[in-house]
Amino acid sequence: MSDAVVVRDVVKRFGSTTALAGLSFSVRDGELFGFIGPDGAGKTTLFRIMATLLVPDGGTVTVLGRNVVAELWTLRTRVGYMAGRFSLYSDLSVEENLRFFASVFGTTLEREYEQIAPIYTQLEPFKDRRAGALSGGMKQKLALCCALVHQPEILFLDEPTTGVDAVSRREFWDLLGRFKASGLTTIVSTPYMDEAKRCDRVALIDRGRLLAVDSPAAITSSFGRPLLAVRADDRYAALKALRRYPNTASVYPFGEALHFTDARPALAAADVARDVTGFLEAGGLGNVTVEPTAPTVEDSFMLRMGAPEGDEKGRAQAE
Amino acid sequence: MNDELVIEAHDLTRRFGDFTAVDRISFDVRAGEVFGFLGANGAGKTTAIRMLTGLLAPSGGQASVAGHDVYTESEAIKRDIGYMSQRFSLYEDLTVSENIRLYGGIYDLTDREIRGRTDRLLTRLGLQHIARSLVRSIPLGWRQKLAFSVALLHEPAIVFLDEPTSGVDPITRRQFWELIYEAASAGTTVFVTTHYMDEAEYCDRVSIMTAGAIGAMGTPGDLKKQFGVESVEDVFVKLARPGDARVPGSAAP
Amino acid sequence: MTALLGLLRKEAYHILRDRRTLAVIVWMPIVQVIIFGYAIRTDVDHVRLAIVDPVPDEDTIALRGRFGATDTFQIIAVTPRVSTLEELFSSGAAQGAVVFEAGFADHVARGLPARVMLVTDATEPNTGSMVQNYALAVVQRYEAELQTRRPGGVRIVPEVRTAFNPTRASSNLFVPGLMAFVLTIISSLMTAISLTREKETGTMEALLVSPLRPWQIIVGKVTPYLAVGFVSVIGVVLEARLVFHVPLRGSMTLLLGEGLLFILVSLSLGILVSARTSSQRVAMMAALVGTMLPTMLLSGFIFPVESMPWPLRAASVVVPAKWFVTVARGIMLKGIGLRYLWRETLVLAAMALVLLTLSTRSFKARLE
């Protein structure tokens, strides 16, 4: 299996800000690869470089075996790209948008109908509606359609599910799964950590650096320390209490529970649980349960990202 | 949290021409509660919030916020609530202190009150060192925390937060929610909308709007039991597509 | 009250901290006062005067001398034949002419009415009447001088004529300039807005990542405005003719051709203006300041360029509208063709070539 994308030490700066600080990774042919990270992580900059829209300040980027800087015109006929914002024409209809993008790539809607049918059949009932009048979920599907209409060999989707409701997001990933099955290499970026599990491999990216590159399972299983879910009647009181607890490495709300890691990483989960339960009950909290829980990608991200920009800890680390 | 009701809505409705954006919604919010208001874009959330914050008059039904009627006392409502929106929070070309002073003035705080509260606010967030920096130059996560604190500057009974944590990293997001908990435990009612379904779990109660009406309301735990699912997101999915959530194309575009 | 003061203070900060707005507020008035101060000069000088003197005699020579002695007039030709005037006016070599009758001095000596005709090129809005008045003044002063020397019985009768714009209807004068103005709006402003709108909404990104080459994108974006501009030229001319009865003495085809050239120049300017910005608002301001303002002030549309001090006259050379206004006026009011307008046409063509090349190059195949 060869590599669809090879990136070595890519650097990109904008004025005094470094958006990408020397990233290296590869994406294999036919992979569904995800970039997971918050705003400002550098996802859009990286995608624009890979899609030949920006020139890196350092490093090399190769897509489908070709250098993105030197061979951009060859690549542009083979690459499908969906930009971060809704970048289709609001005042054109669904069909007019598709026809336009088909023509720009030298093909027609009729010729490509079979290829895009899985998505287009959902849009077809509204093909005369102005794109600006579609719901968020439908807009994303239309954008995906336009990116696929010329049968690209590789697909770059920059935050296709951002701002879209949970149901449409699931449907979108279902569609991606169908296209992956036909062998299309797809690279997606998203701020939603739970979407990581739908990818073959993911790269966790934060402030221009990669925190990890691996399959979601491998990332979560390499958490390296026990993770415990703490529940109590008064969640906020428990949180405050654990912030005062001397053995806390980290404690954060996670859904119904609090996720806790101990500052003594070698200690067994059962012992940690016992200590924490004891501490909380001594503090007067009721209905305390502390159980080991499987780390999610989000837990892994938070563990590896260090302190957010400007945090007390972060500033202390930087000084 | 006591049982005093700070928001009461009964059959609240808003029409725009032929289109009914909000269709007879009814709910109550208790003092000190963290109430999550969920729903897809276009479901009517923003319209509902606008009616509750005195920005839009309802077409029908009743509602009162902080004891004031939304039809006749919208100005009083505005004085008693705080508001923070994803689209806008602080003026980027003003410094942090200038922003705080501006909002303090707008809400009729005295200079001494403003100074005192500014100090307390910045100390609590650990941001004294950026008091004179332009908002434009500070990181997104700080801006959001600041905006929240500024919304609380005049110590309102209720604060409305519209998608306050979009885009930031997971740690900052949780730090933000700690601020929300802190405010709630001090007695402020927090009315928050969010896209992140896991944040729905942080709320005391949530309501989910679909197509202008409230499809489900209750504590996260109760809703999950009621729908037989593991997460609030699954509740949402079930509500939006009552049948198999994976059948494409069956819902309104 | 504190709330209101707070708001006022905030607005002050916004204005003071936004460098672009500040530039507009501080510099615009200064620049405009300077430009308007110099541009609106009602005095004219160095008016190019032709003299037609079939039979030079002591009085005609003396009067000619009076004209030459002033700063106002500059004698550019002396000819015995009236027929040469047409050429001089058509080519723009002369802005006014003094035509003596044969036997002028003889009539003066004998106390008979001595005729002199004062002709002005009225295609210049303000100059026309100014020139007339000055010329009349010179003649009348000479007459008064003669009166003192030969009291009773000196009568010089000036006849005032205007070339090319006998009715001197102001619509005749403004329409050519208006055409330039309208075309600048359509071609420069609209193009700049259209390009930056794509950048603002994000659709430009989708275009750039496709196999479309920059020139294809530019041609695709710009051609509709070319067509619209073309139609406007026709529309303005029709309206001018039918509603205001502005003459079209020259060739309509030539006018449309020159119009097309001017549109190309303006389009390129619009593209250049929008190349460096992705904000519609900035593009609009740049187009306004960079194209429309010069068109208004320095093209001769309203204020005659001749009367401006040399820095402004030099600046007007690079304003495309200046050349087009001369062409349009020439074709519509004077009825002249390429024979006299080849220079202006060449300048416009050169501008079009240079600007199109520059603007295509400025449009990059990537986001930066």
Q: Which residue of B has its CA nearest to C11?
A: B94
pLDDT in tens, B104-163: 888 888 889 999 999 999 998 888 888 999 998 888 888 888 999 999 999 999 999 988
Please, are residues B221 and B230 in contact by the beta-carbon 8 Å criterion?
no
Kindly state the helix (H) or strand (E) to which residue B34 belongs, with its residue range: strand B34-39
Residue A6 makes CB contacts below 8 A (sequence gap 6+) with A26, A60, A61, A62
Q: Is residue C39 part of a domain?
A: no
Does residue C326 share a domain with residue C292? yes
| Two structure tokens written together for B31 | 């003092």
Report the pLDDT averaged over residues A69-90.
90
Collect all residues of chain A within an 8 Å Cβ-Cβ radius of residue C367: 48, 53-54
Place B32 in a pLDDT band, splitting at 50, 70 and 90.
very high
* Percent residues over pLDDT 70 in chain B: 93
Closest approach of C5 to chain B, Cα-based (Å): 8
Does residue C324 share a domain with residue C281? yes
Cβ distance C211 to A72 less than 8 Å, yes or no, reads: no
Q: Which residue of C has its CA nearest to A147?
A: C206
Closest approach of A90 to chain C, Cα-based (Å): 9
Predicted confidence at residue B242, as pLDDT, reads 61
Does residue C236 share a domain with residue C97? no
Place A86 in a pLDDT band, splitting at 50, 70 and 90.
confident
**Number of compact structural domains in chain C:** 2
Predicted confidence at residue C41, as pLDDT, reads 67
Does residue C191 share a domain with residue C62? no
Residue B46 makes CB contacts below 8 A (sequence gap 6+) with B162
Predicted confidence at residue B126, as pLDDT, reads 86
Cβ distance A308 to B167 less than 8 Å, yes or no, reads: no
Cβ distance C3 to B101 less than 8 Å, yes or no, reads: no
Does residue C152 share a domain with residue C189? no
Predicted confidence at residue B186, as pLDDT, reads 92
Q: Which of C94, C98, C102, C41 is nearest to C65 (CA)?
A: C98
Predicted confidence at residue C125, as pLDDT, reads 60
Question: What is the per-residue burial (b if ≥16 Cβ within 10 Å, else e) of C91-118?
Answer: ebebbbbbbbbebbbebbbeeeebbbbb
Closest approach of C122 to chain A, Cα-based (Å): 49
Which chain B residues in 43-82 lie under 8 Å from chain A, judged by CB atoms?
none
Predicted confidence at residue B60, as pLDDT, reads 93
pLDDT in tens, A195-206: 999 999 999 999
Closest approach of C16 to chain A, Cα-based (Å): 24
Q: Which residue has the tokens 């210049």?
A: C124
Q: Which residue has the tokens 């650096």?
A: A209
Predicted confidence at residue C307, as pLDDT, reads 74
Chains that touch A (3 or more CB pairs under 8 A): B, C
Cβ distance C206 to A83 less than 8 Å, yes or no, reads: yes
Residues of C with CB under 8 A from a CB of A: 201-203, 205-212, 365-368
Predicted confidence at residue B248, as pLDDT, reads 32
Closest approach of A78 to chain B, Cα-based (Å): 28
Specify burial of residue B193 (Cβ count, 10 A radius: 0-12, 13-18, 19+): buried
Q: Is residue C157 part of a domain?
A: yes
B211 touching chain C per CB within 8 A: no
Place B251 in a pLDDT band, splitting at 50, 70 and 90.
very low
* pTM exceeding the 0.90 threshold for the entire prediction: no
* Percent residues over pLDDT 90 in chain A: 73
Cβ distance A136 to B141 less than 8 Å, yes or no, reads: no
CA distance A305 to A170: 27
Closest approach of A3 to chain B, Cα-based (Å): 30
**Nearest Cβ partner for B106 among C3, C13, C14:** C3
**Residue C351 lies in domain:** 170-367
Q: Which residue of A has its CA nearest to B142?
A: A310
Which of A141, A167, A313 is the mutation pick for testing B, counting most B CBs within 10 A?
Answer: A167
Has residue A316 got a pLDDT over 60? Answer: no
Task: Give me the DSSP letters along C101-127.
Answer: PTTHHHHHHTTPPEEEEEEEETTSTTH
Cβ distance B93 to C6 less than 8 Å, yes or no, reads: no
Half-sphere exposure of C66 (CA within 13 A, CB side): 19
Does residue C144 share a domain with residue C219? no
Q: Which residue of A has its CA nearest to B138?
A: A310
Q: Is residue C80 part of a domain?
A: yes
Closest approach of B158 to chain A, Cα-based (Å): 19
Cβ distance B91 to C14 less than 8 Å, yes or no, reads: yes
Predicted confidence at residue B71, as pLDDT, reads 92
Predicted confidence at residue C58, as pLDDT, reads 87
Predicted confidence at residue C313, as pLDDT, reads 85
Which stretches of chain C score pLDDT less than 50? none
Cβ distance C18 to B91 less than 8 Å, yes or no, reads: no
Does residue C148 share a domain with residue C73? yes
C17 touching chain B per CB within 8 A: yes
CA distance A95 to A107: 14
DSSP assignment letter at C171: H
Q: Is residue C35 part of a domain?
A: no
Specify burial of residue C260 (Cβ count, 10 A radius: 0-12, 13-18, 19+): middle
Closest approach of B102 to chain C, Cα-based (Å): 5
**Nearest Cβ partner for B141 among A193, A302, A309:** A309
Closest approach of A309 to chain B, Cα-based (Å): 7
Domain end point (choices C117, C145, C163): C163
CA distance C113 to C157: 6
Residue B119 makes CB contacts below 8 A (sequence gap 6+) with B128
Q: Which of B34, B219, B29, B146 is nearest to A236 (CA)?
A: B34
Cβ distance B140 to A138 less than 8 Å, yes or no, reads: no
Collect all residues of chain B within an 8 Å Cβ-Cβ radius of residue C18: 93
B105 touching chain A per CB within 8 A: no
Q: Is residue C17 part of a domain?
A: no
Q: Which residue of C has its CA nearest to A74?
A: C211
pLDDT in tens, C135-184: 888 888 888 888 887 776 778 888 888 777 666 666 677 788 888 888 88
DSSP assignment letter at C332: I
Q: Is residue C296 part of a domain?
A: yes
Give chain B's count of helices (H) and strands (E). Answer: 9, 10
Does residue C317 share a domain with residue C175? yes
Does residue C241 share a domain with residue C153? no
Place B225 in a pLDDT band, splitting at 50, 70 and 90.
very high
Cβ distance A55 to C368 less than 8 Å, yes or no, reads: yes
Has residue A51 got a pLDDT over 70? Answer: yes
Cβ distance C211 to A76 less than 8 Å, yes or no, reads: yes
The CATH number given to whatever domain includes residue C134 is 3.40.1710.10
Q: Is residue C37 part of a domain?
A: no
Does residue C217 share a domain with residue C158? no
Which chain B residues in 111-170 lie under 8 Å from chain C, judged by CB atoms?
111
Q: Is residue C303 part of a domain?
A: yes
Domain end point (choices C139, C163, C187): C163
- A-B C-beta contacts closer than 8 Å: 110
pLDDT in tens, B159-211: 999 888 888 899 999 999 999 999 999 999 999 998 788 889 999 999 998 88
Which of B33, B96, B171, B185 is the mutation pick for testing A, counting most A CBs within 10 A?
Answer: B171
* Radius of gyration of chain A from its Cα atoms, rounded to whole angstroms: 23
Q: Which of A221, A220, A294, A283 is nearest to A257 (CA)?
A: A294
Predicted confidence at residue C42, as pLDDT, reads 61
Predicted confidence at residue A152, as pLDDT, reads 94
Task: Give me the DSSP letters along C50-87.
Answer: EEE-SS--HHHHHHHHHHHHSSSEEEEEEES-TTHHHH
CA B150 to each of CA B82, B113, C5, C65: distance values in angstroms, whole numbers, following the listed order: 8, 13, 19, 83
Closest approach of B93 to chain C, Cα-based (Å): 7
**Nearest Cβ partner for A53 among C201, C203, C366:** C366
| Two structure tokens written together for A215 | 């399959």
Domain end point (choices C163, C196, C218): C163
Please, are residues C114 and C101 in contact by the beta-carbon 8 Å criterion?
yes
Q: Is the ipTM of this complex over 0.90?
A: no
Predicted confidence at residue A310, as pLDDT, reads 65
Does residue C218 share a domain with residue C183? yes
Q: Which residue of A has its CA nearest to B129?
A: A310
Has residue A315 got a pLDDT over 50? Answer: no
Cβ distance C9 to B106 less than 8 Å, yes or no, reads: no
Cβ distance C14 to B93 less than 8 Å, yes or no, reads: yes
Collect all residues of chain C within an 8 Å Cβ-Cβ radius of residue A101: 206, 210
Does residue C148 share a domain with residue C228? no
